[in-house]
Structure 1
Amino acid sequence: MIKNLASTLKSKRIAVIGGGIAGSTIALRLAGLDIKVTLFEEGVSLVNGPPVCHLHAGGNLYPDISDAQCLTLLEQSIATMKIYPHCINKRPTVIAIPQRDAGNIETLLPRLELLTQRYKTLIQADESNKVLGEPDDYYQMFTRADLESLKNTTQPPEITKFSDWMTPLAKTLDLDSVKYPLLMVQEYGLSLFRIAASTELSLNASTSCNLLVNNEVMNVAYSANKTWLITHSENGKQTITEVDYLINACGYRTGVIDDMADTPKERMVEFKAAYITHWQQSERWPEVIFHGQRGTPEGMAQLTPYPDGYFQLHGMTEEITLFKNGLVKTTDDSAQPKLDKSFINKLVQGWDKQESDERTQKAINHISHFIPSFNAATIAGRPLFGAQQIPGKDVSLRAYDVSFEGLQYARAEIVKASSALSVADQIIHKLFDCSYTQLSDCNSQNANLVALSESDIDKLACRIAADRNYPTSLAKI
Structure 2
Amino acid sequence: MTQEIDQTSKLKVAVVGGGIAGATAALHLAEIGVHVDLIEKNNSLVSGPPICHLHAGGNLYREISVEQCINLLTQSIESVRLYPHTLNRRPTLIVVPHSDGGDPLSLIPRLEQIRAVYQSLVDADQGNEVLGAPEDYFKLYHREQLQALKDKQQNTHPVDYDDWLIPFAQHVDLDNIKYPVVAVNEFGWSVFRIAASAMLVLEKMPNCNLKTNTRLSAMNWDGKQWSLQLDNEGLITHRDYDYVINACGFETGFVDDLANAPRKRMVEFKAAYVTKWGQNKQLWPEVIFHGPRGTENGMAQLTPYTNSVFQLHGMTPNITLFDGGLVSNNEESSQPQLPTRLKNKIMAGWSDSVRIERSEKAIEHMSRFVPSYENAKEFGTPLYGAQQIPGHDETLRAADVSFAAQHYARIEVVKGSSALEAVRKISAKWQLSDRLTNSIEVTHPNAVALMQEEVVTRAKQLAKERGYPQELAEVYGY
TM-score (normalizing by structure 1): 0.96
Structure 1 residue 411 corresponds to structure 2 residue 410: yes
- Percent of aligned positions that are identical: 47
Q: Provide closer, same or farther for how the CA distance between residues 314 and 152 of structure 1 changes in structure 2, counting only shifts above 3 A.
A: same
Aligned partners of 2:380, 2:39: CA distance in 1, in Å? Answer: 29
Match of 2:71? 72
Q: Provide closer, same or farther for how the CA distance between residues 352 and 252 of structure 1 changes in structure 2, counting only shifts above 3 A.
A: same
Aligned partners of 1:21, 1:87: CA distance in 2, in Å? Answer: 13
Aligned partners of 2:27, 2:169: CA distance in 1, in Å? Answer: 42
Equivalence map 1:174-213=2 (5 Å): 174-213=173-212
Q: Answer with 102-111 or 64-73: which moved more.
A: 102-111
Structure 1 residue 354 corresponds to structure 2 residue 353: yes
**In the TM superposition, what whole-angstrom CA distance separates every residue of 1:131-178 from its partner, at most 9, and x where no partner exists?**
100000000011111111111111112322110000111110001111
State whether residues 407 and 431 of structure 1, in contact with CA within 8 Å, keep that contact through their aligned partners in structure 2: no
Match of 1:266? 264
**In the TM superposition, what whole-angstrom CA distance separates every residue of 1:270-299 from its partner, at most 9, and x where no partner exists?**
111000000022221100000111111111
Q: Which amino acid aligns with 1:295?
A: G
Q: Provide closer, same or farther for how the CA distance between residues 394 and 446 of structure 1 changes in structure 2, counting only shifts above 3 A.
A: closer
Q: Which amino acid aligns with 1:230?
A: L
Q: Provide closer, same or farther for how the CA distance between residues 43 and 397 of structure 1 changes in structure 2, counting only shifts above 3 A.
A: same
State whether residues 89 and 189 of structure 1, in contact with CA within 8 Å, keep that contact through their aligned partners in structure 2: yes
Structure 1 residue 310 corresponds to structure 2 residue 309: yes
Q: 1:238 aligns with which of 233, 236, 239?
A: 236
Q: Which amino acid aligns with 2:32?
A: L
Q: Which amino acid aligns with 2:12?
A: R
Match of 1:35? 34
Q: Which amino acid aligns with 1:337?
A: P
2:14 counterpart SS class: strand
Structure 1 runs not aligned, ≥5 long? 1-5
Match of 2:447? 449
Structure 1 residue 219 corresponds to structure 2 residue 218: yes
2:447 counterpart SS class: coil
State whether residues 31 and 448 of structure 1, in contact with CA within 8 Å, keep that contact through their aligned partners in structure 2: no
Aligned partners of 1:169, 1:442: CA distance in 2, in Å? Answer: 37
Match of 1:293? 292
Q: Which amino acid aligns with 2:442?
A: S
Q: Which amino acid aligns with 1:334?
A: S
Q: Answer with 88-97 or 402-411: which moved more.
A: 402-411
Aligned partners of 1:84, 1:202: CA distance in 2, in Å? Answer: 11
1:64 counterpart SS class: coil
Structure 1 residue 427 corresponds to structure 2 residue 426: yes
Match of 2:474? 476
Q: Which amino acid aligns with 2:449?
A: A
Match of 1:168? 167
Q: Which amino acid aligns with 1:272?
A: K
State whether residues 83 and 448 of structure 1, in contact with CA within 8 Å, keep that contact through their aligned partners in structure 2: no
**1:442 Cα deviation from its structure 2 partner:** 9.6
2:467 counterpart SS class: coil
Aligned partners of 2:170, 2:330: CA distance in 1, in Å? Answer: 51
Q: Answer with 328-337 or 400-409: which moved more.
A: 400-409
Q: Which amino acid aligns with 2:471?
A: S
Aligned partners of 1:110, 1:181: CA distance in 2, in Å? Answer: 13
Match of 2:375? 376
Aligned partners of 1:373, 1:66: CA distance in 2, in Å? Answer: 35
Q: Which amino acid aligns with 2:415?
A: K
Q: 2:252 aligns with which of 246, 251, 254?
A: 254
Aligned partners of 1:120, 1:192: CA distance in 2, in Å? Answer: 27
Match of 1:391? 390
State whether residues 168 and 285 of structure 1, in contact with CA within 8 Å, keep that contact through their aligned partners in structure 2: yes
**1:446 Cα deviation from its structure 2 partner:** 5.1
Aligned partners of 1:453, 1:251: CA distance in 2, in Å? Answer: 29
State whether residues 6 and 33 of structure 2, in contact with CA within 8 Å, keep that contact through their aligned partners in structure 1: no
Figure out how many residues of one structure are paired with residues of the other and give that number: 471
State whether residues 28 and 448 of structure 1, in contact with CA within 8 Å, keep that contact through their aligned partners in structure 2: no
**1:406 Cα deviation from its structure 2 partner:** 3.9
State whether residues 28 and 444 of structure 2, in contact with CA within 8 Å, keep that contact through their aligned partners in structure 1: no
2:438 counterpart SS class: helix
**In the TM superposition, what whole-angstrom CA distance separates every residue of 1:185-230 from its partner, at most 9, and x where no partner exists?**
0000000011111111100011121111111111111124x10111
1:449 counterpart SS class: helix
Q: Provide closer, same or farther for how the CA distance between residues 340 and 223 of structure 1 changes in structure 2, counting only shifts above 3 A.
A: same
**1:440 Cα deviation from its structure 2 partner:** 2.5
Q: Which amino acid aligns with 1:100?
A: S
Structure 1 residue 335 corresponds to structure 2 residue 331: no
Aligned partners of 2:140, 2:181: CA distance in 1, in Å? Answer: 6
**In the TM superposition, what whole-angstrom CA distance separates every residue of 1:217-264 from its partner, at most 9, and x where no partner exists?**
11111124x101111121311111111000000000000000000000
**In the TM superposition, what whole-angstrom CA distance separates every residue of 1:371-417 from its partner, at most 9, and x where no partner exists?**
00000000000111001110000001000010001450000010001
**1:433 Cα deviation from its structure 2 partner:** 7.5
State whether residues 24 and 47 of structure 1, in contact with CA within 8 Å, keep that contact through their aligned partners in structure 2: yes
State whether residues 429 and 439 of structure 1, in contact with CA within 8 Å, keep that contact through their aligned partners in structure 2: no
2:127 counterpart SS class: helix
State whether residues 364 and 375 of structure 1, in contact with CA within 8 Å, keep that contact through their aligned partners in structure 2: yes
Q: Provide closer, same or farther for how the CA distance between residues 459 and 448 of structure 1 changes in structure 2, counting only shifts above 3 A.
A: closer
Q: Which amino acid aligns with 2:264?
A: E
Q: Which amino acid aligns with 1:247?
A: I
Match of 1:14? 13
State whether residues 82 and 440 of structure 2, in contact with CA within 8 Å, keep that contact through their aligned partners in structure 1: no
Aligned partners of 1:446, 1:321: CA distance in 2, in Å? Answer: 36
Match of 2:144? 145
State whether residues 398 and 415 of structure 1, in contact with CA within 8 Å, keep that contact through their aligned partners in structure 2: yes
Q: Answer with 276-285 or 125-134: which moved more.
A: 276-285
Match of 2:438? 440
Q: Which amino acid aligns with 2:438?
A: S
State whether residues 272 and 322 of structure 1, in contact with CA within 8 Å, keep that contact through their aligned partners in structure 2: yes
1:205 counterpart SS class: coil
CA RMSD in angstroms comes to: 1.8
Aligned partners of 1:314, 1:155: CA distance in 2, in Å? Answer: 26
Q: Provide closer, same or farther for how the CA distance between residues 7 and 123 of structure 1 changes in structure 2, counting only shifts above 3 A.
A: farther
**1:434 Cα deviation from its structure 2 partner:** 7.6
Q: Which amino acid aligns with 2:425?
A: Q
**In the TM superposition, what whole-angstrom CA distance separates every residue of 1:447-468 from its partner, at most 9, and x where no partner exists?**
2516322222222111111111
**1:9 Cα deviation from its structure 2 partner:** 6.3
State whether residues 49 and 385 of structure 2, in contact with CA within 8 Å, keep that contact through their aligned partners in structure 1: yes
